[in-house]
Amino acid sequence: MTESSHPRLLRWAHSVLQPGFEGTTVPDWVRRRISEGLASVVLFGRNIHGPEQVAGLTTALYAENPGLVVAVDEEAGDVTRLEARTGASRPGNLALGTLDDIDVTEQVARDVGRELRGLGITLNYAPSADVNTNPLNPVIGVRSFGARPDVVSRHAAAWVRGLQSAGVAACAKHFPGHGDTVVDSHLGLPQVSADAGTLALTALPPFIAAMDAGVRAVMTAHLLVPAYDARWPATLSRPVVGDLLRGELGFTGLVVTDAVEMGAVADRYGVPGAAVRAVAAGADAV
């Protein structure tokens, strides 16, 4: 099978991909893929040198397709793409959760959204809605609003409201909750051992709060949750994505996966295998 012999299949495949790329200008391969149906791209720190450059980059991308989705992973605090070279000037989630003033959280997120919108970015992979119940967690930590579900819930909702009030879609992550883990999913497969009843009281409430606030997207996590599915990591699991997120919780927005080149899934299934399985499980974008 060649790409030219199956153009409809190729266009469909491109419609579910959200690739990143190297450099601060649009590569030829990205232009070509957009013409073939690529619907979204993701920017990282390696693509960002300054406001004028980013605005020029997104302008060039939209010249290829005005309806393109341009996404970024801008949590503020420790995870910043806009200020990767200088360090974040805005507080991260733990600082906001510790202050526990939802008006401040909403304003910080609105400020992030206004900057992103001004740069031509329309989807932000934030906020983290993970409840950091395990202090040994190597990947969430200060990216969480805290260790209490009620605190994380109200601040996740405030972040969603603030960001989306500026015209940028928010994405609550990492469903169904990455807070009670001791493995970094970039490197291996974490496992959450809590039962479904415990998860309903601890891990899920912030995602429900984000949905109630109108969050446009949810990002799935690369972790095993035997309470829901003992075989497949959440990103690749129909019981998690289809039955729990879509069915039980009633989410109707965009479901996007965490990066499928991360070790938790890529080492076991390969990048193509993980991508195919994620779509089969119900993801809209990988």
* Res 132: pLDDT: 97
* Res 35: pLDDT: 95
In this structure, which topology does domain 73-281 adopt according to CATH?
TIM Barrel (3.20.20)
pLDDT band at 11 (very low <50, low <70, confident <90, very high): confident
Give 178's contacts (C-beta < 8 A, 6+ positions apart): 130, 137, 139, 140, 185, 190, 221, 223
| Residue 111 among the catalytic residues | no
* Res 85: pLDDT: 85
pLDDT band at 7 (very low <50, low <70, confident <90, very high): confident
pLDDT single digits (tens) 240-265: 999 999 999 999 999 999 999 999 99
DSSP-based three-state secondary structure for 17: coil
Residues of the chain with CATH 3.20.20.300: 73-281
Number of Cβ within 10 Å of residue 253's Cβ equals: 18
Contact 137, 185 (CB under 8 A): no
Give the CB-side neighbour count of residue 179, counting CA atoms within 13 A.
27
* Res 69: pLDDT: 98
Q: Which of 259, 266, 227 is nearest to 243 (CA)?
A: 227
pLDDT band at 5 (very low <50, low <70, confident <90, very high): low
CA distance 89 to 71: 20
pLDDT single digits (tens) 97-156: 999 999 999 999 999 999 999 999 999 999 999 999 999 999 999 999 999 999 999 999
Angle at the Cα of 281 (from 280 to 284), degrees rounded to 5? 80
| Residue 258 among the catalytic residues | yes
Computed over every residue of the chain, the mean pLDDT equals: 96
* Res 68: pLDDT: 98
Contact 230, 193 (CB under 8 A): no
pLDDT single digits (tens) 179-222: 999 999 999 999 999 999 999 999 999 999 999 999 999 999 99
The one catalytic residue in 150, 186, 222, 284 is: 186
The one catalytic residue in 73, 180, 229, 258 is: 258
CA distance 94 to 126: 14
* Res 3: pLDDT: 52
* Res 84: pLDDT: 85
Residue 37 above 70 pLDDT? yes
pLDDT single digits (tens) 221-233: 999 999 999 999 9
Distances (CA, A) of 204 to 38, 87, 224, 247: 32, 31, 15, 14
CA distance 78 to 84: 9
- What are the tokens at 178? 């990455």
Instruction: Give the helix ranges, DSSP H, for 102-254.
Output: 102-119, 149-165, 196-202, 205-212, 238
pLDDT single digits (tens) 55-107: 999 999 999 999 999 999 999 999 999 998 888 899 999 999 999 999 999 99
Cβ neighbourhood burial of 91 (10 Å; 0-12, 13-18, 19+)? middle
* Res 1: pLDDT: 44
CA distance 225 to 240: 9
